[in-house]
Chains A and B, each alone.
Chain A
Amino acid sequence: MALIRYFGQIAEATGCTREKVCIANINLKDLMDRLNEQYGLERFQKQIAVNQVLVNPNKTYLIKDSDEIVILPPYAGG
């Protein structure tokens, strides 16, 4: 089970801040397509972090069972 975490307006759209899902061995891009469809996330600008490192969502990355995937809206500190 991989862990997906959401922040800010994206957590508001998904209705949760984290969820565990069976998504091992699928591509990050396919996961994002699935989440965009499920939660209507397409309308948000976002960045993706895998295991605490920001990644290019268009690059091929095969998700592992132990991964933590974090979906971040635009930063608004200060």
Chain B
Amino acid sequence: MKNVFIEGAITPEFIAQSLAKHQTKHSIGAHNIFLGQVRADEVDGQKVKGIEYTCYIELANSQLETIREETFQKYKLTCMHVYHSLGLVEAGEVCLFVFVSAERRKEVYAATEYLVNRVKEEVPIFGKEIFDNETHQWKVNQ
């Protein structure tokens, strides 16, 4: 997968442009989108104001390539895109954008969940949750 990582938040404009780019692909009958947004969790009276993401890019890219190939083998998709933020993303902003397209809708629901789960479990991305008072904790995926 090319250019998965984006510095900072994934903007609504970027998402809209991605959708627009697919309007020339007339074999597509269904899109499905997952957007992960940074949540302002409260821990011991302190609110998360943002998450700073880092990743081990070399391994991340090879894992993403494997995930891409295996997703295409498992589901009949026309195309798929995954974007993830690096650096600081503030609460309320989007940090993960998964976009799946196929001829018909049934495939895209299952493929989206499969892709999101695999990205979260297998791609070496790390998140530092920064609180209002500038202290931090390390994000743990549930």
Contact = CB atoms under 8 A, between A and B. Distances in A.
Interface residues of A, number: 15
Q: How large is the interface on B (under 10, 10 to 19, 20 to 34, 35 or more residues)?
A: 20 to 34
Interface of B: 36, 53-56, 58-59, 62, 84, 95-96, 116, 119-128, 138-141
B96 A77 contact: yes
Contact of B120 (A7, A52, A73, A75): A75
Interface string A54-78: 1000000000000000101111111
Contact of B127 (A52, A54, A76): A76
A49 interface: yes
Of A70, A72, A75, A78, the most chain B CB neighbours within 10 A belong to A78
A7 B141 contact: no
Contacts of A75: 120-126, 141
Contact of A78 (B58, B59, B95, B124): B95
Given A7-B54, A7-B126, A8-B128, A74 B59 contact: no
A36 interface: no
A5 interface: yes
Contacts of B125: 75-78
B120 A70 contact: no
A65 to B, nearest CB: 19
Interface string A38-57: 00000000000100101000
B100 to A, nearest CB: 16
